Amino acid sequence: MTSFGARLDAALDARGSTCVGIDPHPALLAAWGLPDGIGGLARFAETCAAAFGPTAAVVKPQSAFFEAYGAAGIAVLEDTVRACRAAGALVLLDAKRGDIGTTMAAYARAYLAPDAPLAVDAITLSPYLGVGSLEPAFELCAQYGTGAFVLALTSNPEGPQVQHARADGDQVVAQLVIEALAERNAGAVPLGSLGAVVGATIGAAPVRLDALNGPFLVPGIGAQGGTADDVRRIFGAALRNVVPSVSRAVLRHGPDVDTLRTAVEAQNATFAFLRG
């Protein structure tokens, strides 16, 4: 079994560093000339899978935009995940799950067990019931070679109220999240399978990032104002492990498949320094 961290490291070398979001919100469906309904959702998702599955290292469907259409939307999400994985992309489902006990274990099975209908390569998780509450997901990651990206320093303006709060020992909460993940990633080669979400718009990072030994998913680039220079400044020695996450900056070029692929190539070129 190859770990998610090892598969991600190889994919970033082979396909470039960009993680491409699949965010079928109604305004974007309209911009693509598609109806706001299950038919439009399916057309959008099929186009994204065709454009990104064979070319992007990581594809990140936003689960909420599919869930909004009910069971039929979840069926489209399942098809999208399968198509992207079959074409060679790693699929990171952006669902931001976080709970305790048997409920967290059920969320973990739903996405990280290989026989699940929505099995993906990795999922986003929220640690704000305590990082330890996510242990069922971490256990399945280790068991099945899947991965997780845990919210640490997010790109939304409300985040610092919690993430910068001081805990026992005067460390900020985000630092405790990073350290808990680093402990679980210790000794992994070439890269741990537990990553952190750290936005490109956070300003001066109030934490030490270099000990994670895992990937950083970096939203906030493009439409939210984050730049390649911000990435350089924030991550320093950990740049090789950065996975820039872009959605609107690529999706606005749709619905033509070739044009979408060209937009991914442009993002890869912008962030070529990460693997250089």
Per-residue pLDDT tens over the stretch 175-216: 999 999 999 999 999 999 999 999 999 887 778 898 899 999
Query: Does domain 4-199+215-274 bear CATH number 3.20.20.70?
Result: yes
**Residue stretches of the chain with pLDDT short of 50:** none
What digits encode the pLDDT tens for the residues 121-160? 999 999 999 999 999 999 999 999 999 999 999 989 899 9
* Res 207: pLDDT: 86
Q: Which of 96, 164, 253, 275 is catalytic?
A: 96
- 3-state DSSP call for residue 224? coil
Domain ranges of the chain: 4-199+215-274
Alpha helix locations (H) across 53-147? 63-67, 70-86, 101-112, 135-144
Identify any residues that bridge with 198 across adjacent strands, giving them in sequence order.
153
Show Cβ contacts of residue 243 under 8 Å, excluding neighbours closer than 6 positions: 8, 12, 17, 18, 19, 57, 58, 195, 215, 216, 217, 218
Judging by beta carbons within 10 Å of its beta carbon (0-12, 13-18, 19+), is residue 250 exposed, middle or buried? buried
Does the pTM surpass 0.85? The reply is yes
Q: For 180, what's the count of Cα atoms within 13 Å in the CB-facing half-sphere?
A: 21
Query: How many other CB atoms sit within 10 Å of the CB of residue 275?
Result: 14
| Coil, strand or helix at 121 | coil
Six-digit token pair at 192?
Answer: 């741990």
Q: Is 253 helix (H, G, I), strand (E, B) or coil?
A: coil
96 is catalytic: yes
pLDDT of residue 167: 85
